[in-house]
């Protein structure tokens, strides 16, 4: 028979008030190595036990800050150093756009990392054995009883004294908890062979289930209902139209609701003669024009329309908008270029409404006048 060692003496009570009084008495007696087990959290118990703040919060803080720093570094390195991209005229490292991802990674690292830390350091995963496990005491406090356990390692521990203390407190049941001597110095074994085999087996099961779900199950009826939808996507074949094309041209002679047709398609010079800017420049219009110009035009033309692109050679630099040719163009001629594009410049009709195009033109005129100011403009 294996030698048994006393771990603790336990006592069971019927009500939360009784366990609170028991804790107060145990504290007054000077015991420090004890624990309380209840079927549900008892308000104020941590205060009565004089428990220090949990150190788990420091791990959560460190893991959360590591997640935030890692996410910011990865986005900075990938979008500013490894493969820089200009998106809507924004800087390479646009911090406001990175905040949502940073927040999510911070929460993910703090939550998942804290749970793993608790399992590995506090619960000694995968060695989850504890003397109180599978005892009548633990079954009782998991149901409807309130228990307290004073450990034998306490400097004031004396089995006779502890038993008399629990009797005086009116404990309904007093018992001893023992464990095998082999468990005294047992340490967690993360790389235990059985545990590693369990992890490998779990990974295989999860991988197989994921492969079957995403590659087989979702293609079976009725789970494939999302794939079979009565709609036509761009570039797709259509069985409804006789020519088989899913994308349709507008019906000749019709105008889409909420839009006006552009009457000078392919006729930029005529547009320059016929089109007149309907807007009068004021502070509000110029502010909108500046905002739209900085967003859509400045990556290629530069912030002052001098043709000094910010694309680092990723795209050919356009000519300056301060040349005599462009300065002598009418507003309608510039509007035609913005609407249909010219040379390698694409159309910006999808990005800018007609009024926004006119506002950008007014802002360009303000830049031209600022760069080519006359003596009268300085008065």
pLDDT for the residue numbered 110: 95
CA quadruple 26, 27, 31, 33: dihedral positive or negative? Answer: positive
CA quadruple 44, 46, 50, 56: dihedral positive or negative? Answer: negative
235 has pLDDT over 50: yes
223 has pLDDT over 90: no
Say how far apart CA 348 and CA 358 lie, in whole Å. 12
The percent of residues in the chain predicted with pLDDT above 90, rounded, is 44
- Using one digit for the tens of pLDDT, what is the confidence trace for 261-279? 888 888 989 988 988 999 8
Say how far apart CA 123 and CA 175 lie, in whole Å. 24
- Using one digit for the tens of pLDDT, what is the confidence trace for 109-151? 999 999 998 888 877 776 667 888 889 999 999 999 999 999 9
pLDDT for the residue numbered 182: 58
366 has pLDDT over 60: yes
Question: In the chain, where do the E strands start and end?
Answer: 4-13, 34-37, 146-151, 173-180
Omega within 30 of 0 (cis) for the link into 126: yes
Q: Are 172 and 14 in contact (CB under 8 A)?
A: yes
Omega within 30 of 0 (cis) for the link into 222: yes
156 has pLDDT over 70: yes
pLDDT band at 104; cut points 50, 70, 90: very high
Of 23-27, 79-83, 180-184, 203-207, the one with minimum mean pLDDT is 180-184
Question: Helical H runs in 30-173?
Answer: 45-48, 56-76, 95-117, 136-141, 159-169
- Using one digit for the tens of pLDDT, what is the confidence trace for 71-81? 999 999 998 88
Q: Are 264 and 354 in contact (CB under 8 A)?
A: no
Phi first, then psi, for residue 6 (nearest 5°) are -75, 125
- Using one digit for the tens of pLDDT, what is the confidence trace for 292-348? 999 999 888 988 888 888 877 777 888 888 888 988 899 999 999 999 988 888 899
Of 1-5, 179-183, 303-307, the one with minimum mean pLDDT is 1-5
Average pLDDT in the chain: 87
pLDDT band at 59; cut points 50, 70, 90: very high
43 has pLDDT over 70: yes
pLDDT for the residue numbered 259: 74
Q: Which residue has the higher pLDDT, 27 or 187?
A: 27
Count CB-CB contacts under 10 A for residue 362: 20
The percent of residues in the chain predicted with pLDDT above 70, rounded, is 94
- Token pair listed for 299: 């990556």
pLDDT for the residue numbered 2: 39
pLDDT band at 183; cut points 50, 70, 90: low
- Token pair listed for 166: 């629990």
- Token pair listed for 146: 């309130």
pLDDT for the residue numbered 229: 72
293 class by beta-carbon count within 10 Å (0-12 exposed, 13-18 middle, 19+ buried): buried
pLDDT for the residue numbered 39: 93
54 has pLDDT over 80: yes
């Amino acid at each position: 028979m294996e030698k048994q060692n006393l771990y603790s003496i336990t006592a069971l009570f019927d009500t939360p008030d009784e366990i609170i009084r028991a804790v107060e008495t145990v504290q007054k007696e000077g015991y420090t190595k004890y624990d309380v087990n209840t079927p549900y959290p008892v308000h104020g118990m941590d205060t009565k036990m004089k428990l220090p703040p949990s150190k788990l919060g420091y791990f959560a803080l460190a893991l959360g800050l590591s997640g935030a720093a890692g996410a910011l570094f990865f986005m900075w390195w990938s979008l500013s150093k490894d493969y820089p991209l200009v998106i809507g005229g924004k800087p390479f490292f646009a911090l406001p756009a990175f905040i949502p991802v940073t927040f999510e990674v911070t929460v993910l690292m703090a939550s998942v990392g804290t749970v793993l830390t608790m399992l590995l350091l506090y619960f000694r995963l995968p060695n989850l054995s504890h003397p109180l496990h599978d005892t009548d005491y633990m079954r009782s406090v998991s149901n409807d009883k309130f228990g307290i356990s004073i450990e034998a390692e306490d400097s004031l521990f004396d089995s006779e004294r502890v038993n008399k203390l629990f009797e005086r407190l009116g404990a309904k049941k007093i018992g001893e908890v023992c464990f095998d001597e082999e468990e005294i110095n047992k340490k967690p074994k993360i790389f235990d062979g059985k545990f590693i085999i369990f992890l490998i087996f779990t990974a295989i099961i999860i991988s197989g289930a994921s492969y079957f779900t995403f590659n087989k199950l979702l293609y079976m009826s009725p789970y494939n209902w999302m794939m079979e939808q009565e709609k036509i996507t761009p570039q797709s074949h259509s069985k409804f139209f006789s020519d088989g094309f899913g994308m349709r041209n507008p019906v000749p002679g019709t105008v889409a609701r909420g839009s006006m047709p552009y009457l000078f398609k392919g006729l930029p010079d005529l547009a320059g003669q016929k089109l007149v800017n309907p807007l009068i420049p004021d502070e509000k219009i110029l502010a909108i024009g500046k905002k739209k110009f900085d967003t859509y035009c400045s990556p290629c033309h530069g912030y002052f329309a001098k043709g000094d692109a910010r694309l680092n050679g990723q795209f050919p630099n356009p000519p300056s908008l301060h040349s005599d040719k462009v300065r002598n163009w009418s507003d309608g001629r510039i509007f035609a270029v913005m609407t249909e594009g010219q040379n390698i410049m694409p159309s910006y009709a999808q990005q800018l409404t007609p009024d926004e195009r006119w506002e950008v033109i007014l802002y360009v005129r303000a830049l031209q006048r600022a760069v080519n100011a006359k003596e009268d403009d300085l008065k």
